[in-house]
Chains A and B, each alone.
Chain A
Amino acid sequence: MKKTVLFLAAILVIFLVSCGGSGSKNIKLGMLYNMTGSQASLDGPSSNGAKLAAKEINAAGGVLGKQLELVSYDGKSDAETIGKAAAQLVEKDKVVAMFGFSDSDMVMAAAPIAAKAKIVFITSGATSPKLPSQVPDYLFLSCFGDNVQAAAAAEYSWNTLNAKSAYLLIDKGMEYTLLLGKYFQERFTELGGSVVLEDTYQTGDKDFSAQITKLKALKPAPDMLFISSGPDDIGTIVKQVRDAGITSPIFGGDGYDTPLLMEIAGKGANNVYYTTHSLMDKNAGSPEVQKFIAAYEAEYNTAPENAFAGLGYDTVYLLADAIKRANSADPKKIREALQTTKDLPGVTGSITFEPGSPIPQKGVAIIEIQDDALKLAAEVVPEKVPAP
């Protein structure tokens, strides 16, 4: 028993020693991504993209004559861990700004801690437009909001696909899919379209025959299907819908931006459309995207896994730009400069913050799958966006 006590004491000492701070002259940015756990497939590429951006910026002389240093911790997809990591970034690492995460829960575990220390938190991938109001003044999005991408989807469906009626299937298990479906419906009906049937499922469901039966019973068949789904389910859904003989266009949000869609649905993925941050394609993408992909491949020996890589990359450039314009690494000045960002070009579209809005005005990429290939169908800046 005494050995146990001594062992515990030793561990405690190691722990206290390892807590010591570290000083340096670099400009420190706190980077929080979930490198492990359920969020890793989105956050891993984001982290890689961010590191690549920092490397490029530093190679070009840094910011304000100083090097950018990304201080990162693994959030482990766990709120308690994220809280601790955010506290360390504030206290021990003394970062001047924080960014990261692609999920509302995760953002909400870190952003309030940054705000308490009067430091901005920019989420690179959590697209809920309701998020910033939970942490007023300090929480920004560098990606578009779901209201923006849903409005873009609705306008493109109405104007270009000539869809007048839509079937709506929503995953009830995620805030993201719930809101996305709701925003689409709002904008689509506002334009004059009608949602003929609204159905739901739960994240992780494997059998959609009940929903498909109801869908097939619709007379006349709807012009399009809007399926609000996350990355893990969409392949299965598309496959089962197509296997049931339904060929109408299927539309969705950036949850579709995963190789799984075409891997699982195969040919069935044709005639699928989705909104996302950019088309990560070496040939079909924009010049910025092509340049980014080349750099990413040179650095990591693999193409960017998804658009989240571009979001992480753009977020670091967004912060670097704000620091440059603020001409200071003072957190307060960074926040002020961030709010006045205008037409900053990026891999995922150019970023402008309207006064008072923490959600950027950003173009939405509409991707179309035809002949087993992704194509950039359009870049849409929606005319009207539903309120968050």
Chain B
Amino acid sequence: MRRDRSTAIVSLAAIGITFLVLWLLHSFGGYYIERIVIGIGINLILVISLNLANGFTGLFSLGHIGFMAIGAYASAILTLPLSLKSTNLPDLPVFLSKIQMPFLPAVLVGGLIAMVVALLIGLSLMRLTGPYISVATMGFLVIVQVVLTNWDSMTRGARTFAGVPEYTNVWNVWIWAILVLYIVWRIKFSSFGRKMMAARDNEIAARSLGINVMASRLLAFCISAFFTGVAGALWAHFITAFSPKSFYFSQTFSVVTMLVVGGLGSLSGSVVGVMLITILSEILRNAERGFSIGPLVIPEVYGASQVIMAVLFVLFIVFRPRGLFGDAELDVRRFFKKEKEVSG
């Protein structure tokens, strides 16, 4: 009972502090900081849901950005103002050309479509293991890419899909991010999470304990696809103009990097991974434009930030292959307790 209550208090306090910080950044940080904060929120959703699929079940999907694309396009099509629909998407099926949905339902539909697709492909993909699943999911990513570039009437093909209403803001993104973190956290510490992780650690033993490995993987894959679709929709209403190639390997790489740095299976790790990589690459991106320390002048070297990040990533993987956190979680209470011991 005491433990329950203290966990609840710590969680609520953390959420309160998060929103206080968001409010401060929103009020005093300006537009640039706001864009970073929104970007972090969206990446949190992407990385946490990828963790649910990849970290918990051990099946390393490289196709998740395909779900992001599905969510983005679905929500963009559903919310596009009717005037723009007639000019930008003249060949839309009638039932779509006449509707303009509000933000929330469109985001939910985007997530649901991604989830249904995940269910359909998951029924066959979830039987695979190891590298096969990575290759097969990457195949899915390629298929999504091809479908998006060829389905002109829905997506404008390879052309820029512009005019998506800019609905995304700090608040709706972060409410989603915290919701996703909370839900995936609850899944991790329930029978569902244990089944996923048991099957990851030893499939044969898991089956000998009555665990339906296929079903638990499918559950992880589908929930994960739903949230990835949601993140895609939020991203669409943040960037407002994109094309299929926005959802391809470089986006995949960016999300996978954040996940691996944080640690597969650790949600605390995902949060730290996203923040760390975002902020570090922002610092480097600004630094590569050249700067001076006293008499020392460093000239601009474009691309240096990517190279440094890549080298750091490689070193990180070599020296800390299980990421910052492995699959453990940061225990705030333990952290404070130690603090007291040290200071007292």
Contacts and interface: CB of A to CB of B under 8 A. Distances in A.
Do A and B originate from a single complex?
A: yes
Contact of B149 (A108, A112, A179, A202): A202
Interface string A65-83: 0000000111010111101
A178 B158 contact: yes
Contact of A84 (B39, B150, B243, B280): B39
Interface in B197-244: 239-243
B242 A174 contact: no
Interface in A1-49: 1-2, 4-5, 8, 11-12, 14-15, 18-19, 35-37
A72 to B, nearest CB: 7
Interface stretch (A85-93, A213-221, A236-244, A279-287): A85-93
B250 A15 contact: no
Nearest to B150: A172
A80 B39 contact: yes
A327 interface: no
B31 interface: yes
B158 A134 contact: no
Chain B interface category by residue count: 35 or more
Interface string B127-151: 0000000000000000000000110
Interface stretch (B48-56, B102-110, B159-167): B159-167
B299 interface: no
B216 to A, nearest CB: 30
For chain B, what secondary structure do more than half of its interface residues adopt (helix, strand, loop), or is it mixed?
helix
Contacts of A15: 279, 282-283
Given A74-B285, A78-B250, A4 B35 contact: no
B324 A4 contact: yes
A134 B32 CA distance: 22
B157 A178 contact: yes
Nearest to A37: B250
Interface in B34-82: 34-36, 39
Contacts of B279: 11-12, 15
B272 A108 contact: no
Contact of B162 (A2, A36, A80, A108): A108
Contact of A76 (B163, B239, B272, B306): B306
Contact of A134 (B34, B35, B162, B339): B162
Contact of B242 (A76, A105, A113): A105
Given A35-B303, A172-B150, A87 B283 contact: no
A91 B160 CA distance: 27
Contacts of A19: 32-33, 286
A8 B241 contact: no
Contact of B289 (A1, A14, A72, A80): A72
B327 interface: no
A5 B325 CA distance: 12
A247 interface: no
A328 interface: no
A367 interface: no
B283 A18 contact: yes
A36 B302 contact: yes
B239 A83 contact: yes
Interface string B284-296: 0111110000000
A18 to B, nearest CB: 5
B200 to A, nearest CB: 24
Contact of A112 (B30, B159, B240): B240
Given A18-B286, A174-B159, A202-B149, 16 more contacts: A1-B335, A2-B335, A4-B272, A4-B324, A5-B335, A12-B279, A87-B30, A87-B31, A91-B30, A92-B30, A105-B160, A105-B243, A109-B239, A109-B241, A174-B158, A175-B158
The 8 closest A-B pairs by CB, nearest first: A108-B241, A175-B159, A35-B302, A87-B32, A36-B303, A74-B302, A173-B158, A87-B31
